[in-house]
Structure 1
Amino acid sequence: MNPHTEKPALLLSDSESAQLNVLHNNSVDSYSWDACTVEVKDRATGKPKRILDNVSGIAKAGEVLALMGPSGSGKTTLLNVLAHRTSTSKAKVSGELLVDDDALSPAAFRSIASFVEQDDALIGSLTARETIEIAAHLSRPRSSKAQRNALTAYLLTAFGLNSCSDTLVGTPIRKGISGGQKRRVSVASQLVTGPKILFLDEPTSGLDSTASREVMSFVRKTAKELKIIVIASIHQPSTDTFNLFDKLALLSAGKLCYFGKVDQVPTYFESIGHPIPSHTNPAEYLLDLVNADFEGTDNAVPASIQDAWASGQHMPALRAPSRSNAPTRLEVKRPSNLSNSTVLIPLLKRSIMKSYRDVLAYGVRYAMYTGLAIMMGTVWLRLKTEQEYIQSFINAIFFGSAFMSFMAVAYVPAYIEDRVVFVKERANGLYGPIAFMLSNIIVGLPYLFGISVLFSVIAYWLSNFRPDAQAFFIWIMWLFLDLVAAESLVVFVSNLVPNFVISLAIVAFANGLWMSVGGFLHPIPLLNPFWKYVFHYIDYQAYVFQGMMVHEFKDRTYDCSSDCRCSYPTGDLQCQIPGTAVLSAYGYPLGREGRWVGILLGITAVYRLLGLAALYWRKD
């Protein structure tokens, strides 16, 4: 079967066929915009500057509209305005956006529209089929599995993805599907949500001419079949790709130079004195014609083309229709106000699949912690309960707690990848920050507990810490709390500054700070009051170190030297040092372990709440 010419044939039950109709029915007839203007403050002059100037147009069901223009022409700004997204920081936006002659709120608009980013925000450790299935589950959590599978099968066939449906999207160390296939998966995973209007930001960016034509061919075919309005910004398409669009909006310096059918482009430009030469890519010719940014170009030509269009003498009737008082006929593409518990299942499913497949994000971290445990266990191998080994015990405790939490920086890239996907799906109205944070916590806790056990099984017994089961599990508890707090810090910083390098640097710096003020490298009584009162008491590593110290020393004794010279007070013991004497030297009291656990949980909760607040605050 040729997916370019035939509608895919599927063996569906009546209920599955009915579910597929959700993608076909209740289409939006038209989307129009009138006098859209975006104004910002010019940094050089301080005066208002229009980056989009009085742009109008209309797109109808089944049409694919191209927004085209040279760099800086305003096409991306227009795409964001039409998608009800923030166009430019501190910009003044005006104009009228009408869906079937009705103005919708941004929330209502998001319920009928989807946006595909320029960069493919996909989970590399999922297959193409799983990516679309999870998108279907997120957008239609109350549908049956059979219904969602039917939608997935339809789109896999419609976009020519059956041959790679069970291939991983691809990670930095595992090759996956091609760039063109990734772009088709990105579009299909948005179409499965049943949008009436689909926005594509540079859908052919980074693709060769063949892959670009392939992607847009599938988009055009699906738009016609499902009666979807597709609006895409595009830069310098090939002739074949350009001809796949139904309409063109050509921009230059924020103004329209043409808006109309693609097949009427040659006629129009010939009528205003700029015929397109034969055997020339019309898209390239038009971009060169309206580009006034480079030296040697005639600035008068773009201005004359803008004036010719604005005069209206050649302009087709493409202005937005006048508003009527008829009530809106729209139905949302998915149930609104989905509860966090409803979307939590597909989020958890996706996170679990990623956790055991993504070798770079998870497997490498397990290997890293295993290596760290072997190194610690063999460096501090079989420590003896003699006074000359007391400092080695303390050093091993510090290393085991501080460096385990420090290595949480390895979680930064994996979390940022998840966050990128969340930002895309949140912008398309699938779920919010609470559901995302809950899924991250639920999947992360067993993983961190597994690391704690793995590390402890190796390092604890090799180093000869207290040799009983209860003490072993208490050690695991402290290590687990340490890792949970450290990973919560990673989540907070990565949400606040979602840049890999900067987040990595901040988390590493913070852990270095915690080591410095924790009480081991520099005694707390001698610590500068600023560092003590501002940072020491919020240092989760300090409470873990104190807890581990009390756990190790409170019930142990250590032999003095052969001539009974003891480096710590012996109390009532003869030639033996009680572990409590070591704790007294560090100023660590007994009986406060419960309080320290509570403080650790509180610090972790604060990091998570701050991370959640950062998710709400940052929309990017």
Structure 2
Amino acid sequence: MDEPNSFAMEARASPDVEMNEGLFLMNNSVESFSWRGLTVTVKDRETKKPRDLICDIGGDVQRGELLALMGPSGCGKTTLLNVLAHRAAGAKVMGDSYVNGAKVDAASFGRMTSYVEQEDALIGSLTVQETLKFAADLSLPSSVSKRQRMERIRTLLEAFGIQKQANILVGTPIRKGISGGQKRRVSVASQLITCPKILFLDEPTSGLDSTASFEVMSYAKELARLNNIIIIASIHQPSTTTFQLFDKLLLLSGGRTCYFGPLQDVDTYFRNIGRPIPANTNPAEFLLDVVSSDFSSGKESPQEQVEAIQRAWATSAEANTITRQVSSRARTTDKDVNKVVMEDLARPGPVKITTALLHRSFIKSYRDVVAYGIRIVMYLGLAIMMGTVWLRLHPSQEYIQPYVNAIFFGSAFMSFMAVAYVPAFLEDRANFTKERANGLYGATPFMISNFLIGLPFLFLISILFSIVSYWLSNFRPSADAFFTWVMWIFLDLVAAESLVVLVTAIYPNFVIALALVAFANGLWMSVGGFLVTPTILNPFWKYVFHYIDYQAYVFQGMMVNEFSKRNYSCGDQCQCMYKTDLEDQCQIRGTGVLETYGYATGRTGKWVGILIGIIAVYRLLGWIALLLRRT
């Protein structure tokens, strides 16, 4: 048997927690949360027939109680947790749930509950205290003063024993932060900032050792008891000490109930049905073994053993008692809903949410070297390479093609290297998915803040890259030409990053997103006008892809910027490669080069407008993808 951690025991008995008990108590506590007949049905991929993931589940939890959802892998724990949290999607759901005996609509239910995901979707470049601060900014209305917010944050830090880690970063792959157990506590604490009445925890001890698991659950139990919060947690194979922290147990196997009731009655119940828990055995491990269809503890086959336990529960007096309790509380009206949903659970307005997201993204951007730091170094390296490979090109005809090559390289590879933004956006997207599921905000403020926060960093990259590469390569030496080049590089990067946002919004998988973004950029390079000029490009590629290729407008804009106002010498022999009106002067007018590509001058404004339109379409499609895709 695992021994409880002494620090966790001290924290549970801490006078600070008791002293701050009133901070989280709500005027209208949820007295009970109950459900009956919950069934989730999907179509089997092989047989094409309906299949129940969970079937006819009922239960009842009172305020201050901690309920464990337990069972072998694949038994339906997470499915049931999502249904209870009103998060079910892509399946047919039947049954009812009640808050204080009344049915509550999804919006109201979302305002009184919080959900902690199995994976810690935390921003690693924020400190622990900043994580809680932004959770407060995104969830608490203006009626909660700054002093009250800071007091609430301080109390949560103390209650979860992480006050000493308040100014430590959560941690990134590059910068070490807090431990795994402390991350789980931060995840739970950030969801408690709004004082939810019901808290759902999906595998809160996943990846933690027995000591860290006990700490996390002991903090959760103490907060549930002190603040009358109902906590429902799915959990897999807890230690004995962690298991004993729960007040009630819902044991599942194959999507059906094997036991529901007080934890102290588990031993008696299983003894009565002929499955006594052996002495000196972790009861959680025994229960998981006895309801597993993969293993058998007797002469019966595993499936027969599980079915016998399920039948025993279905016909038991305990099951009938639960059914009667839920039925007696359930009412057909929702007249008491307004008593459950409090005014202080109102969310802040869209402007304040967008401002908070901008502030958080700004901190993340300058601290997280993966987001922009590494990219700045990478682009500077690219600028030095470009400037030294195409070093001090001369305005003579033998350098015309190297000029064109340098323009292509500077535009195409700048956008291609935007693939480095994929991991940073994936982290932002995971955090958005978690916060949207908890009802904090939608896709609009997220997309707006993500777009705005990237602009100054992309502009900085554009300036730094241009200062190095433009003058080393000896492009047209004038201020207006230089800043026009900077403008094209900036628009190129914004479009490339917008493409990353679109692809990653649709496919939130690192490998897939990286491959698709790289493929798209390869396609744009092929049809952009450099490798094959638009005048001879295959009509299919020209009319289907060339005109929607943002790199094409950047390339031709840079070409016009370089060649429209510059002349080139024809060499000592005066044999001009391009025939222009300056041939008799042994020179080539730059517009002659543009004519071979089919580029006209005086269209910069039009091209800029088209490029901005492409960026807007990418962002709009990304916004639609986030609206439609909930995971």
Tell me, yes or no, whether TM beats 0.5. Answer: yes
Q: Return the alpha-carbon distance in structure 2 between the equivalents of residues 316 and 150 of structure 1.
A: 46
CA deviations on 1:7-32 (whole Å, 9 max, x unpaired) are 426999xxxx9xx7455432211100
Equivalent residue for 1:177? Answer: 178
Indicate yes or no: 2:145 matched with 1:144.
yes
Equivalent residue for 1:576? Answer: 587
Across the two proteins, how many residue pairs are aligned to each other? 612
Indicate yes or no: 2:127 matched with 1:118.
no
Letter in 2 for 1:603: I
Q: Return the alpha-carbon distance in structure 1 between the equivalents of residues 281 and 344 of structure 2.
A: 44
Q: Return the alpha-carbon distance in structure 2 between the equivalents of residues 572 and 41 of structure 1.
A: 75
Q: CA deviation at 1:166?
A: 1.1
Equivalent residue for 1:565? Answer: 575
Tell me the SS of whatever aligns to 1:111.
helix
Contact 1:24 1:225 in 2 (8 A): no
Q: Return the alpha-carbon distance in structure 2 between the equivalents of residues 119 and 333 of structure 1.
A: 31
Match of 1:591 among 599, 602, 606: 602
The alignment's TM-score, normalised by the length of structure 1, stands at 0.96
Letter in 2 for 1:491: V
Q: CA deviation at 1:145?
A: 2.2
Letter in 2 for 1:125: S
Tell me the SS of whatever aligns to 2:302.
coil
Q: Return the alpha-carbon distance in structure 2 between the equivalents of residues 460 and 338 of structure 1.
A: 47
CA deviations on 1:138-188 (whole Å, 9 max, x unpaired) are 101513322211111010000000121111111111111110000000000
Q: CA deviation at 1:195?
A: 1.0
Letter in 1 for 2:247: D
Equivalent residue for 1:327? Answer: 336
Q: Return the alpha-carbon distance in structure 1 between the equivalents of residues 232 and 308 of structure 2.
A: 26
Match of 1:532 among 512, 535, 542: 542
Equivalent residue for 2:3? Answer: none
Equivalent residue for 1:64? Answer: 66
Tell me the SS of whatever aligns to 1:34.
strand
Kindly report which structure 2 residues correspond to 1:374-393, keeping only aligned pairs within 5 A, or say none.
374-393=384-403
Kindly report which structure 2 residues correspond to 1:23-422, keeping only aligned pairs within 5 A, or say none.
23-86=25-88, 89=90, 91-142=91-142, 143-294=144-295, 297-315=301-319, 317-319=321-323, 320=326, 321-324=328-331, 325=333, 326-328=335-337, 329-332=339-342, 335-336=345-346, 338-422=348-432
Q: CA deviation at 1:252?
A: 1.1
Match of 2:502 among 475, 492, 496: 492
Tell me the SS of whatever aligns to 1:192.
helix
Q: CA deviation at 1:257?
A: 0.9
Unaligned runs of 5+ in 2: 1-6
Contact 1:193 1:333 in 2 (8 A): no
Equivalent residue for 2:526? Answer: 516
Distance 1:504 1:298, change over 3 A: closer
Q: CA deviation at 1:338?
A: 4.1
Tell me the SS of whatever aligns to 2:204.
coil
Distance 1:453 1:440, change over 3 A: same
Q: CA deviation at 1:75?
A: 1.3
Tell me the SS of whatever aligns to 1:581.
helix
Contact 1:38 1:51 in 2 (8 A): yes
Indicate yes or no: 2:10 matched with 1:8.
no
Contact 1:52 1:74 in 2 (8 A): yes
Distance 1:10 1:131, change over 3 A: farther
Unaligned runs of 5+ in 1: none
Q: CA deviation at 1:366?
A: 0.8
Q: Return the alpha-carbon distance in structure 2 between the equivalents of residues 85 and 113 of structure 1.
A: 12
Q: CA deviation at 1:102?
A: 1.1
Letter in 2 for 1:327: D
Indicate yes or no: 2:471 matched with 1:467.
no
Contact 1:291 1:297 in 2 (8 A): no
% identity of equivalent residues: 60
Letter in 2 for 1:213: F
Contact 1:260 1:316 in 2 (8 A): no
Q: CA deviation at 1:528?
A: 1.2
Indicate yes or no: 2:624 matched with 1:613.
yes
CA deviations on 1:552-596 (whole Å, 9 max, x unpaired) are 111111111102111111314501111111111111101111100
Q: Return the alpha-carbon distance in structure 2 between the equivalents of residues 249 and 477 of structure 1.
A: 61
The Cα RMSD (Å) is: 1.8
Tell me the SS of whatever aligns to 2:321.
coil
Q: Return the alpha-carbon distance in structure 1 between the equivalents of residues 522 and 588 of structure 2.
A: 32
Contact 1:67 1:250 in 2 (8 A): yes
CA deviations on 1:32-54 (whole Å, 9 max, x unpaired) are 00111112222333322222111
